[in-house]
Amino acid sequence: MSKYSIGEFEEIVLLTVAVLYENAYGITIKKEIEDRLERKVSVGAMRTALKRLEKKGFLESEFGEATAIRGGKRKRYFKVTVYGKRALDYVMSTRKQLWDAIPPMAFEFK
Amino acid sequence: MQDQQQKINPPKLALKFLRWFCSSDLIEDVEGDLLELFDERSSISYAHAKRRFILDVILLFRPGIIKNISYYSTSATMFQNHLITALRHIFRYKGYTTINLLGLVVGLASSILILTWVRDEIKMDTLHEKEVYKVWRNMYQSNGEIQTTEAIPQPLVEVLNNEYPQIDKVSTISAQTEILFRNGDETSFESGVYASADFFNIFNFNIIAGNGKNPLDDMYSLVLSKSMAERYFGDVKSAIGKTLMVNEQKQEFVVTAVVEDKNTNSAIKFDWMIPVEEYISRNDWIESWDNGGFYIYFSLKDGADISEVNARIEQEINKHTNTEVDERLITQSIKDTYLYSEFKNGVPVSGRIRYIKILSGIAIFLLVMACIKFMNLATARSSRRAKEVGVRKVLGAQKELISQQFFVESFLLTFISVGLALVIVSLVLPYFNQLTNKELSLSLTDPEVLLSLAGITFIVGFLSGSYPAILLPTFGITDSLKGMIRGSKFNQTLRNTLVVFQFAMAIMLIIGTFVVMSQIDYILNKNLGLKKDNLLYFNMSEDYTGKEDAYRNKLMKFPQIKDVTFTSGNPVSYGRSTSSASWEGKSPDDMLEINVMITDAHFFSAMGTEMKEGRGFVEGRQTDKSTFVINEVAAKLIGFENPLDQKLSVWGIDGTIIGVVKDFHMNSLYEPIKPLIISNLPEYTNTAFIRIEGDLQEALYQIEKTSKEISPSYPFRYKFLDQEYAESYSNEIIIGTMIRIFAFIAIFISCLGLFGLSSYSADQRSKEIGIRKINGANTWGIVYLLSKNYSKLIIIAFVLASPIAYYFAKEWLENFTFHVDINYFIFFAAGMIAFLIGALTVSIKSYQAASVNPIKTLKSE
């Protein structure tokens, strides 16, 4: 984990951003996570995660057009960077390696 | 969009909070997210949406979202810029700066002066190393009253020393007395105290020469103050070991130590100190539980509990006496004795603390007024500053930056003001010391002083800067640039409120001044029941014993001398009393303290008292030796229907009452008149009273000559009764003067503010005035137009201030048993003064504005 440091919640957020592709901004990310994982996500927790991911270089963001419904505030759309993709790959491959290394007997519950 | 927002608004406060803490690169979309969510949720339930919104905002308040704190530390250059702009402003608008500074400096200087005084008062007797307590004696009277005295039976010292494990050291101290010292042929009276050996083990007095450990060990040792030592022996060092003759004792005393003069921190003051044992050896009456002696102080052992002492000490007198008298002892920490020395029902209730409260109140008043004035002017000028704010905003300044700028400005001005105020304080302090009879100083190296100065600077800077700093940045950019900030309604209301507030305080102070002055006037001119003017008196030395008649006869030959009488003390400040008087019908259990005065046959005529019934003593009539005259209060207390010819027994003299004298005041006007028995025993008198009429110089010359013939070895010293009487109210007079001065300052500050405001509004309305003039308005009409608003404000201030002032004035006056009634004319006069001064201030500026040629104001854009 020394190469790409990423927390569990951060990983979920990062994956969700990828899932949403071009429509990933605050609210949609929050809703997507809430729907898929059936857990509550506060704006604050999600924001901090997004900010941290961006700081680490896993995400990049840009402002969209202003819309009336948001009191004239622009949306900030997030996109997974190449570096972010690599981090996700890394996480997945390490997990996979671990899975592969599990001897079959380990999961033989009687 | 507008409609939608009107319909459903997110909680404003939460939104403001979010905007305040959220870092600037996140705020836009975070806020957007929240608004979107809010919109969505509120389509289900508005209340739910609101709750969730607030919750979300609170949950957002976490590191990562909150603004970077280092933002402030990088703004050093910005700060420098603020400082430069502030200075530029200060120099650019000199008139405005002067008015602002003047108000702040005067307000600050006054407050600092007062607080220095307050500090000195509060610090009195608080610097002794140990916990020191004073013993008080509550005497329960039969009529339910409790009289409290500090004269404690001397045997208590033994008891406290031997039976109380909690007590460390005990010391007896006498009241300040004057005794005559002789050094060769030179004689002079000096005031000092008798004290027991442990005095220096309890109190911290700085011994600068001689025996620093136990200078009072020997019965005939003498401790001198530095100034007295220098007066007699040239310098401190050579005083040690020398002797001084004390007249009363006919005894030489050896100087064993010299103490620092300025023990101003202790209420116990003395030029000399002699062991109390010496006094006791000559006065064995003091060694009795039945007599009140000197004052008793004691210090506690470390960790001892005063409540244990209190529980036990209460009944000490009753335990050691057999009479029915109920006297209980209480203790008071010496830290409180100076401020709380007035007792009511045996409990300390008040004292000098009263004046500390009044003056601290005034100090706060003045500070607040100066802040208000500053705020007011800044708000009024906000339109002038609006353009600047607009330009700054356009160039990218955030609100915080603009707030910061105004705070820097107000703090800078406050800082300068505090500096100037300190200069003024140091210049005025000598005069202030003269006025208050103190030796105050302001040492800037004292951390406590520095800290409070820093505190004052901060509070004043913050208060005066807060309004402009918070208000100005909220103006819209376009409005500010157009200069459209023509005082919002709120702005104006606030300004008016502040003016009212300010004037209300000033009016309260004026009313207070009038009330205090009229009470002082009342005290000094009150008919005391005897004629106190032109009455000279002095204590007679032992040389006069038996020669009173001869002295009187000699004096009466001079036409300037109208009358001479001898008494046992000053009748206007009398305190010799007994509870042993008895009369028919008095139960032996009754405990009633009655004053007894000893006089001669000339007392009533010389003092100018009036008889209510009966007669005074007749000279030379032997049978009158065993007669008494009582005052009206005593007559009522004793309760005979017809007091004349009734039997009365005082101090072992059985006699009859031959007259009732109309009440005269024997104590301060704080207290009611006490019962008095006057007896006719000229041989026991010690004070001579001489009534003078006509040429004072000649009279004084003759009196001195005659006195020197009888008592050649004593210096001739005298006092005038009316002066001494006024002197006894010096505290009230000092406080009265202080209140008067500060009321004047308060008015001054208010007027400065009003002047600034009126010049601002005249400035703002210059075009309007020009147009009005062109249309035929005359100058006075315009002056009226500009002034009438302020007149209204002053009237409102008056209406608000009067009841509050009335309440406090009444409370203060009720401390006095004898006081003036509050005259409603005082209120009227105070209101008129404030109104006239205010109107005058406003008119000056208004007149100036109204008399300008309209062409000038109209052509400029």
pLDDT band at A98 (very low <50, low <70, confident <90, very high): very high
In a domain, B734, yes or no: yes
| Tokens encoding B461 | 């800077």
> String of b and e for B366-395 (b: at least 16 CB within 10 Å)?
bbbbbbbbbbbbbbbbbbebbeebbebbee
Residue spans of alpha helices (H) in B557-664: 603-607, 632-638
Distances (CA, A) of B614 to B531, B610, B630, B631, B642: 20, 11, 10, 11, 10
Chains A, B: CB contacts under 8 A, how many?
Answer: 70
Task: Determine the structural domain holding residue B232 and report its residue range.
Answer: 132-337
Sign of CA dihedral B395, B399, B401, B405: positive
pLDDT at A36 over 60: yes
In a domain, B119, yes or no: no
Q: Identify whether the C-beta of residue B261 lies closer than 8 Å to the C-beta of residue B230.
A: no
Strand partners, B186: B183
**Phi/psi at B732 (nearest 5 deg)?**
-65, -40
| Separation of alpha carbons A54 and A52, rounded Å | 5
Residue B479 sits in the same domain as residue B547: no
| Chain CA centroid to CA B656, Å | 47
pLDDT in tens, B10-47: 788 888 888 888 877 778 878 888 888 888 888 888 88
Q: Identify whether the C-beta of residue B843 lies closer than 8 Å to the C-beta of residue B783.
A: yes
Residue B367 sits in the same domain as residue B429: yes
Q: How far is A107 from chain B (nearest CA, A)?
A: 41
Contact B26 A52 (CB under 8 A): no
Contact B32 A52 (CB under 8 A): no
Q: B-chain residues within 8 Å CB-CB of A44?
A: 56, 59-62, 65
Q: Identify whether the C-beta of residue B695 lies closer than 8 Å to the C-beta of residue B534.
A: no
Q: Is A31 on the interface with B (CB under 8 A)?
A: no
Cβ-proximal residues to B340 (8 Å cutoff; 6+ apart), any chain: B332, B348, B349, B350, B351, B353
User: For the residues B495-507, what does the mean pLDDT come to?
Assistant: 86
Residue B548 sits in the same domain as residue B519: no
pLDDT at B75 over 70: no
Q: Tally helices (H) and strands (E) across chain B.
A: 31, 26
User: For the residues B203-231, what does the mean pLDDT come to?
Assistant: 86
Task: Determine the structural domain holding residue A82 and report its residue range.
Answer: 8-102
In a domain, B622, yes or no: yes
DSSP string, B369-419: HHHHHHHHHHHHTHHHHHHHHHHHHHTT--HHHHHHHHHHHHHHHHHHHHH
pLDDT in tens, B745-772: 888 888 888 888 787 777 777 888 888 8
Nearest CA in chain B to A78: B29
Contact A26 B33 (CB under 8 A): yes
B1, B29, B59 member nearest A68 (Cβ): B1
User: For the residues B409-427, what does the mean pLDDT come to?
Assistant: 90
Q: What pLDDT is recorded for position B861? A: 55
Residue B801 sits in the same domain as residue B739: yes
Q: How far is A8 from chain B (nearest CA, A)?
A: 18
In a domain, A24, yes or no: yes
In a domain, B687, yes or no: yes
In a domain, B720, yes or no: no
In a domain, A109, yes or no: no
Q: A-chain residues within 8 Å CB-CB of B31?
A: 71, 73
Tokens 């905007």 appear where?
B19
In a domain, A108, yes or no: no
Residue B212 sits in the same domain as residue B247: yes
Residue B385 sits in the same domain as residue B445: yes
pLDDT band at B422 (very low <50, low <70, confident <90, very high): very high
Cβ-proximal residues to B648 (8 Å cutoff; 6+ apart), any chain: B581, B582, B583, B628, B630, B638, B654, B655, B656, B657, B677
Q: How far is B307 from chain A (nearest CA, A)?
A: 58
Q: What pLDDT is recorded for position B442? A: 80
pLDDT at A1 over 50: no
Q: Is A2 on the interface with B (CB under 8 A)?
A: no
Q: A-chain residues within 8 Å CB-CB of B1?
A: 68, 71-72
Q: What pLDDT is recorded for position B109? A: 92
Q: Is B56 on the interface with A (CB under 8 A)?
A: yes
Q: Decide the pairing of beta strands B719-720 and B535-539.
A: antiparallel
Residue B451 sits in the same domain as residue B558: no
Q: What pLDDT is recorded for position B802? A: 92
Q: What is the average pLDDT score of chain B?
A: 84
Residue B381 sits in the same domain as residue B425: yes
Contact B36 A74 (CB under 8 A): no
Query: How many domains does the structure of chain B reveal?
Result: 4
Residue B55 sits in the same domain as residue B164: no
Tokens 């006056």 appear where?
B813
In a domain, B814, yes or no: yes
Q: Which of residues B47 and B224 earns the better pLDDT score?
A: B224
DSSP string, B241-277: T-EEEETTTTEEEEEEEEE-S--TTSS---SEEEEHH
pLDDT at B1 over 60: no
Residue B608 sits in the same domain as residue B506: no
| Separation of alpha carbons B8 and B389, rounded Å | 32
In a domain, A50, yes or no: yes
User: For the residues B148-158, what does the mean pLDDT come to?
Assistant: 88
Residue B614 sits in the same domain as residue B502: no
Q: Which of residues B719 and B853 earns the better pLDDT score?
A: B719
Contact A27 B37 (CB under 8 A): yes
In a domain, A3, yes or no: no
pLDDT in tens, B98-114: 888 888 899 999 999 99
In a domain, B202, yes or no: yes
A43, A52, A68 member nearest B33 (Cβ): A43
Residue B706 sits in the same domain as residue B743: no
Which helix or strand (DSSP H or E) is residue B323 part of?
none
**Phi/psi at B213 (nearest 5 deg)?**
-90, -65
Tokens 């002079």 appear where?
B188
Contact A44 B61 (CB under 8 A): yes
Q: What pLDDT is recorded for position B564? A: 92
Q: What pLDDT is recorded for position B691? A: 92
Q: A-chain residues within 8 Å CB-CB of B68?
A: none
Specify which of B401-405, B534-538, B592-596, B854-858 reaches the highest per-range mean pLDDT.
B534-538
Q: Which of residues B204 and B630 earns the better pLDDT score?
A: B630
B31, B35, B64 member nearest A48 (Cβ): B64
User: For the residues B579-602, what does the mean pLDDT come to?
Assistant: 81
In a domain, A107, yes or no: no
A43, A51, A52 member nearest B59 (Cβ): A43
Percent of chain B exceeding pLDDT 70 equals: 96
In a domain, A27, yes or no: yes
Q: What pLDDT is recorded for position B2? A: 42
| Separation of alpha carbons B385 and B402, rounded Å | 11
Q: What pLDDT is recorded for position B263? A: 59
Q: Which of residues B838 and B185 earns the better pLDDT score?
A: B838
Q: Identify whether the C-beta of residue B16 lies closer than 8 Å to the C-beta of residue B9.
A: no
Q: Tally helices (H) and strands (E) across chain A.
A: 4, 2
Query: How many domains does the structure of chain A reveal?
Result: 1
Residues 34-53 of A with CB under 8 A from B: 42-45, 47-48, 51-52
Q: What pLDDT is recorded for position B5? A: 44
Checking phi first, is residue B332 left (phi over 0); if not, alpha (psi -120 to 50) or beta? Answer: beta
Contact B32 A75 (CB under 8 A): yes
Q: Identify whether the C-beta of residue B414 lies closer than 8 Å to the C-beta of residue B237.
A: no
What is the CATH number for A78? Answer: 1.10.10.10
Q: Is B7 on the interface with A (CB under 8 A)?
A: no
| Chain CA centroid to CA B554, Å | 48
Q: What pLDDT is recorded for position B68? A: 63
Q: Decide the pairing of beta strands B243-246 and B221-225.
A: unpaired
Q: Is B62 on the interface with A (CB under 8 A)?
A: yes
pLDDT at B421 over 90: yes
pLDDT in tens, B436-485: 878 788 877 778 888 888 888 888 888 878 877 877 777 777 777 776 55
Q: Is B59 on the interface with A (CB under 8 A)?
A: yes
